[in-house]
Amino acid sequence: MTVTVGIILVALSLAILIFALVRAKRQSSQSEPLMDEDTVIQQAFEVVDTLDNPEQYSKILLSQEPVEVRLAKLFDQLFAEGKISPAEKVAKLLVQFAPDLAAGYARLGLAHLRMGNLESAEKNLKTALEIDPEDVRSANNLGYILNQRGRYAESVAVLESVLGEDEQNVVTLVNLGIAKYHIGDVDGAYELLNSAYKKNPNIPEVHLYIGHCLKQFGDEKRAQIAYARYEELKKAKEQDAQRSESPRSEEKESAEPQKEPENSPQKEEGGEKSVASGGQEEQIEEEIVVPDRKETITEQEDSQEEK
- Predicted pLDDT of residue 13: 58
257 within a domain of the structure (yes/no) = no
Provide the pLDDT confidence category of residue 140 given band limits of 50, 70 and 90.
Answer: very high
207 within a domain of the structure (yes/no) = yes
- Predicted pLDDT of residue 128: 97
Residue 140: closest CA among 120, 155, 124, 119: 155
Provide the pLDDT confidence category of residue 168 given band limits of 50, 70 and 90.
Answer: confident
Residues 289 and 178 in one domain: yes
Please indicate whether residue 267 or residue 85 has the higher confidence score (pLDDT): 85
Provide the pLDDT confidence category of residue 11 given band limits of 50, 70 and 90.
Answer: low
Work out the average pLDDT over 106-111.
97
Q: Answer with the one of 89, 112, 133 that is the final residue of a domain.
A: 133
Q: Answer with the one of 133, 154, 181 that is the final residue of a domain.
A: 133
Residues 169 and 125 in one domain: no
Please indicate whether residue 252 or residue 78 has the higher confidence score (pLDDT): 78
- Predicted pLDDT of residue 35: 76
- Predicted pLDDT of residue 241: 79
11 within a domain of the structure (yes/no) = no
Give the ranges where the chain is alpha helix by DSSP (H): 2-31, 37-48, 55-61, 67-80, 84-97, 102-115, 118-131, 136-148, 152-163, 170-182, 186-199, 204-216, 220-243, 297-302
Residues 184 and 94 in one domain: no
**Cα gap 115→214, rounded to integer Å:** 35
Contact assessment for residue 276 and residue 206, using Cβ atoms and an 8 Å cutoff: no
> 299 is in which domain, residue-wise?
163-237+272-307
Is a pLDDT exceeding 60 seen at residue 305?
A: no
Across 167-171, 235-239, 266-270, 272-276, least confident range: 272-276
Residues 298 and 218 in one domain: yes
How much is the mean pLDDT over the chain? 77
- CATH number where 207 lies: 1.25.40.10
Residues 203 and 277 in one domain: yes
Residues 167 and 283 in one domain: yes
**Count of CB atoms situated within 10 Å of the CB of 134:** 11
Residues 129 and 167 in one domain: no
- Predicted pLDDT of residue 36: 86
Provide the pLDDT confidence category of residue 211 given band limits of 50, 70 and 90.
Answer: very high
Is a pLDDT exceeding 60 seen at residue 147?
A: yes
Residues 285 and 215 in one domain: yes
Residues 119 and 171 in one domain: no
150 within a domain of the structure (yes/no) = no
254 within a domain of the structure (yes/no) = no
Residue-wise burial string across 22-36, b where 16 or more C-beta atoms lie within 10 A, e elsewhere = eeeeeeeeeeeeeee
144 within a domain of the structure (yes/no) = no
214 within a domain of the structure (yes/no) = yes
Residues 167 and 307 in one domain: yes
Q: Answer with the one of 111, 133, 155 that is the final residue of a domain.
A: 133
Residues 182 and 297 in one domain: yes
Question: For the segment 230-268, what is each residue's pLDDT rounded down to a tens digit?
Answer: 999 999 989 887 876 443 333 333 222 233 333 333 333
97 within a domain of the structure (yes/no) = yes
Across 27-36, 41-50, 196-205, 260-269, least confident range: 260-269
Is a pLDDT exceeding 70 seen at residue 297?
A: no
Please indicate whether residue 4 or residue 188 has the higher confidence score (pLDDT): 188
Provide the pLDDT confidence category of residue 272 given band limits of 50, 70 and 90.
Answer: very low
**Cα gap 155→252, rounded to integer Å:** 21
Is a pLDDT exceeding 60 seen at residue 182?
A: yes
- Predicted pLDDT of residue 266: 36
- Predicted pLDDT of residue 167: 77
**Cα gap 95→93, rounded to integer Å:** 5
Residues 39 and 86 in one domain: yes
Provide the pLDDT confidence category of residue 111 given band limits of 50, 70 and 90.
Answer: very high
Number of folded domains that form the chain: 2
Burial of 167 from C-beta contacts in 10 A (0-12 / 13-18 / 19+): middle
